[in-house]
Amino acid sequence: MYTYQSSRSLFERAQQSIPGGVNSPVRAFKGVGGTPVFIKKAQGAYLFDADGQRFTDYIASWGPMILGHAYEPVINAIREKVADSTSFGAPTELEIEMAELIKSMCPNVDLIRMVSSGTEACMSALRVARGYTGKNKFIKFEGCYHGHADPFLVKAGSGVATFNIQTVPGVTAGAANDTLTCAYNDLEAVHQLVAENKGEVAAIIVEPVAGNMGCVLPEDGFLRGLRKICDEENMVLIFDEVMTGFRLALGGAQEKFGVDADLVTYGKVIGAGMPVGAFGGRKEIMRVVAPLGCVYQAGTLSGNPIAMIAGYTLLSELKNNPFLLTELDAKTGYLKDMLDKVLKESGISYQLNHFGSMLSIFFNDKPVTDFASAASSNIELFKKFFHAMLKRGFYLPPSAFESWFLNNALTTEDLDATAKAVRESLEEIG
Ligand code: HOZ
């Protein structure tokens, strides 16, 4: 059973120097209560806390650890590269190789620019869409999270939803006025927003499978419908693949759903967990980016050699061994079926949303298809469930509004043990 010994004292100490004791809000555990677990290291499918206690990891650093932690080829590549210095602020051949590799997996990406985070990628993609179309407004969906740049912090998911922050102080009305929102999966509402703002909407940005309100799937025709609206109205379709890119398929959600976006954003996955992001897409749009065009975007650490070699190694592994993603999906399907059985037997109302290697349990008797339905779930029960799992050594997302991410280091024994822990946890809280 988990004890919080070192984490408690580290959390107290952290709060003296870091806002809320953490460098990203969700990990403070305010969404579930209690003391955050301070991690010392991770290997394969497991996290180890400051006391050396082991947890089976179901967040995979929020996506990128697709093949597990400290994946040997990635670690070896970083070790070798770091001896050549950690940053140059000048171009390298490796950046070209990285761009070429991504293009080989995502055929509709003609040009791609590296940045240092998913936030930066989304913020830059939006600027590009605005610069390209000459329009200011854009549509985002309630409960979707595209990083913390001002225009996206309107009805956002992830920590904003977890802490129920209605309006983010510091985001000016000027920055937020051009953000139009409607419910995920509601194509009719998108049509209405476009009609009400005729000729003013530059882009639609969407998580093609949402992971920031828990895992919420696009309904049949939703993504295709967005594509059609963008084509008809000369708007740029942006897929935020920070969570889904290279995880759902080599070509991400674009490949999985057969829908091409105009611009795509990626995050930590292309650095194998190092601080990286990227945005890319059709060349006629990407040509507006400086220095080709005047849409300015820059970063000294963009294309950082250590981040590039880590990401290049991970993505090459995935590309050269396509069975890895198939295997991961199969493992997730195996776990999902066991969870379904265990949840059904518990008699507790639930929804199990699942796509590829992402899943979420919502304690809800109605389907969860958007933020309103996700938020109508029994959050208090989720909190109890989270802690019941944690004390059994299973680290789930510490928020009812985040997806689980599986990694391929998980063994059948791990998955069986997870199902057993879920059964015990449900008995405990039911
Ligand atoms: N916003 C991230 C997941 N949606 C959480 C980031 C973190 O706390 O590390």
pLDDT tens digit string along 303-321? 999 999 999 999 999 999 9
Task: Provide the pLDDT for residue 183.
Answer: 98
Considering the domain architecture, whether residues 139 and 37 belong to the same structural domain is answered as no
pLDDT in tens, 124-162: 999 999 999 999 999 999 999 999 999 999 899 988 888
* DSSP E strands, 186-322: 201-206, 236-240, 263-266, 277-281
Rounded distance from Cα 23 to ligand 1 centre (Å):
10
CA triplet 73, 37, 391: central angle to 5 degrees? Answer: 105
202 and 255 housed in the same domain: yes
Whole-number Å distance, alpha carbon 398 to ligand 1 midpoint, is 10
77 and 57 assigned to the same domain: no
Ligand 1 midpoint to CA 133 (Å) = 31
Q: What burial class does residue 357 get, using C-beta atoms within 10 Å of its C-beta: 0-12 exposed, 13-18 middle, 19+ buried?
A: buried
Domain boundary among 264, 289, 320: 320
One domain, residues 20 and 61 = yes
| Catalytic residue, candidates 46, 58, 132, 145 | 145
Judgement on whether residues 115 and 239 belong to the same structural domain of the protein: yes
Q: Could you say which of 291, 320, 349 is where a domain stops?
A: 320
- The yes-or-no verdict on residue 338 having pLDDT over 80 is yes
Number of domains the chain is built from:
2
Say yes or no: CB of residue 148 within 6 Å of ligand 1. Answer: no
Residue nearest to atom 1 of ligand 1 (CA): 158
Mutate to test the pocket of ligand 1, among 32, 152, 158, 401 (most ligand atoms within 8 A of CB): 158
Q: Does residue 157 sit in the same domain as residue 283?
A: yes
Q: How far apart are CA 244 and CA 258, in angstroms?
A: 14
Q: 268 an active-site residue?
A: yes
Q: How many residues are recorded in the chain?
A: 430
pLDDT by residue (tens digit) across 188-198? Answer: 999 999 999 99
CB 62 less than 6 A from any atom of ligand 1: yes
Distance CA 188, CA 193 (A): 9
59-73, 119-133, 165-179, 217-231: least confidently modelled range: 165-179
Of the three residues 298, 320, 342, the one that is the final residue of a domain is 320
> Of 240, 262, 370, 414, which is the active-site residue?
240
Q: 212: domain CATH number?
A: 3.40.640.10
pLDDT value of position 1: 64
What number does the ligand 1 atom closest to the CA of 145 have? 4
pLDDT band, residue 399 (cuts 50/70/90): very high
Distance 21 CA to ligand 1 centre (A): 15
Q: What CATH code is carried by the domain that includes residue 355?
A: 3.90.1150.10
Q: Is residue 15 located within the same domain as residue 123? A: no
- The verdict on 61 and 175 lying in the same domain is no
Same domain, 66 and 100: no
Q: Do 107 and 38 share a structural domain?
A: no
Indicate if 181 and 92 belong to the same structural domain: yes
Q: Show the domain range for 305.
A: 72-320
Mean of per-residue pLDDT scores for the chain = 97
| CB distance 401 to ligand 1 below 6 Å | no
When pLDDT is averaged across residues 370-376 and rounded to a whole number, the result is 97
| pTM, rounded to two decimals | 0.97
Asked whether residue 154 falls in the same domain as residue 259, the answer is: yes
